[in-house]
Amino acid sequence: MKSTPFTQNHIALGAKMAEFAGYNMPISYEGLVIEHNNVRNAVGVFDVSHMGEFRAKGPKARDLVQYCTSNNIDSLVDGKILYTVLPNGKGGIVDDILVYRVSETEYFMVPNAANIEKDWAWMSKIALEMGMELGKDFINESDSWAQLAVQGPLALKTMQKLTSTPIEDMEYYTFKYLTLAGVENVLLSTTGYTGSGGCEIYFSPKDAQVIWDAVFEAGKEFGIMPAGLGCRDTLRLEMGFCLYGHEIDDETSPIEAGLGWMTKFEEGNDFIDRKTLEDQKANGVKKKLVGFEMLDRGIPRQGYEVCDEEGNVIGKVCSGTQSPSTSKAIGTAHVQTAFSKKDTNIYIKVRDKKLKAVVVRMPFYKVV
């Protein structure tokens, strides 16, 4: 198993550790619910150094990123970020990624930890076909960065104590390069996977301990706590955010996954699978991603069958949990389109029992 620059910190804090995407990662410290609520109400810190980082540079950078992604990167200006997916040429999704525009000829991208090699192979093939040089025009920088997600309503107040650059008024999905805790060239972006505000910071692994110590010292007055991957999942699910391998995968299109809002069919945006996805948007799809709440007692889990009242299988659960913020059992599922409307009753098969649930709009929890 690989380690992050913070692995020994997690072990020293008594974290429950487990393998995730090939890394030895903290699942929880004091407990999932405690960590979840602390992020929702104060500030929590996630080690996300296992995430990938790619960079496209030069005169063909824009064309590569535009062709590979479903969103329209021409809507970006320097310092702005887009959420998008990489269509796989067969109507499915290679991965979902963030695209940062550094300049007109430079883009920084963040793929999922479990998909770094897959994404790199996919995009590299296209880059080579475009005449780009790997390692120069398209670069895999995943081993060159450490990353922390500092999340919660008090996260930016915490981080402001460590930099003279104004950050508390930064717009959502923007970024700046700045000096943080005396460390130069830190990338700070107002992104995250929790829906509770905050930022993500990228820096050299050699500066990891300095950054870690400074962040936790700055956040003491705000009740800062480390947070594990367990509550990262409950936080993102409450917001209805997709997780690769659950709500989205190689067999699911962005239209089916409810991501039509970032699948842009604008003039000049000739991306992979454009025609297929345009047809889906115009003519409809056979399955849709829905959110649901359990009416009967039971916790839905990934892979559980979804049935109609007669017991006919109509779909499959993507994610499920007991929501700490709502005290309800919630989940997402891919279901036949006929069963995707709000307030439709569906049934989750749990150990051969048919438990009643109802389709609801996401997010499950609205952050005040």
| Chain segment 221-268, per-residue pLDDT in tens | 999 999 999 999 999 999 999 999 999 999 999 999 999 999 999 999
CA dist list (Å): 117 to 52, 108, 130: 9, 16, 20
How far is CA 84 from each of CA 65, 102, 110, rounded to the nearest angstrom?
10, 17, 10
**Alpha carbon distance 86, 122 (integer Å):** 9
Q: How confident is the model over 104-153, as pLDDT tens digits?
A: 999 999 999 999 999 999 999 999 999 999 999 999 999 999 999 999 99
pLDDT of 368 above 90? no
The DSSP H or E segment spanning 124 is helix 116-129
Section 81-96 average pLDDT: 98
Answer whether 7-49+145-237 and 286-368 agree in fold.
no
The SS3 of residue 155 is helix
Task: Give the CATH fold of the 7-49+145-237 domain.
Answer: Gyrase A; domain 2 (3.30.1360)
Q: Report pLDDT for 235.
A: 98
User: Does 215 score more than 90 pLDDT?
Assistant: yes
8 A C-beta contact, residue 324 and residue 277: no
- Given CA atoms 29, 34, 35, 38 in this order, what sign does their dihedral have? negative
Q: What is the DSSP string of 187-221?
A: EEES--SSSS-EEEEEE-GGGHHHHHHHHHHHTGG
Q: What is the pLDDT of residue 311?
A: 96
Find the length of the chain.
368
CB 344 within 8 A of CB 301: no
At residue 79, the pLDDT reads 98
pLDDT digits (tens, 9 = 90+) for 154-178: 999 999 999 999 999 999 999 999 9
Q: What is the pLDDT of residue 44?
A: 98
SS3 letters for 67-105?
HHCCCCHHHCCCCEEEEEEEECCCCCEEEEEEEEEEECC
Antiparallel, parallel or unpaired: β 54-57 and 106-110 = antiparallel
Average pLDDT over residues 208-232: 98
Q: What is the mean pLDDT of residues 288-317?
A: 98
Q: Which two tokens stand for residue 131?
A: 């005449």
Percent of the chain clearing pLDDT 70 (strictly above): 100
Q: Across residues 344-349, what is the average pLDDT?
A: 98
Domain 54-139 is in which class? alpha beta
Query: What pLDDT does residue 63 have?
Result: 98
Residue 5 has pLDDT above 90, yes or no: yes
Residue 6 has a pLDDT of 98
What are the b/e assignments for 345-360, b being 16+ CB within 10 Å? ebbbbbeeebbebebb
Domains in the chain: boundaries: 7-49+145-237, 54-139, 286-368
Pairing of strands 16-20, 138-140: unpaired
Vertex 329, ends 325 and 332: CA angle to 5°? 100
7, 90, 102, 176 from 145: Cα distances, Å: 15, 32, 16, 16
Q: Which residues contact 366 (CB under 8 A, 6 or more apart)?
A: none
* Element of type H or E holding 139: strand 138-140
Supply angle C-alpha 224, 227, 232, rounded to 5.
Answer: 130
Tracing tokens 């107040």 back to the chain, one arrives at 157
For the segment 17-39, the average pLDDT, to the nearest whole number, is: 98
Tell how strand 305-307 and strand 345-350 pair up: antiparallel
Is CATH 3.40.50.10490 correct for 286-368? no
Residue 352 confidence (pLDDT)? 86
Using an 8 Å Cβ cutoff, are 246 and 302 in contact? Answer: yes
Name the pLDDT band for 361 (thresholds 50, 70, 90): very high
Dist. CA 44–CA 192, nearest whole Å: 12
Cα distance between residue 253 and residue 267, in whole Å: 21
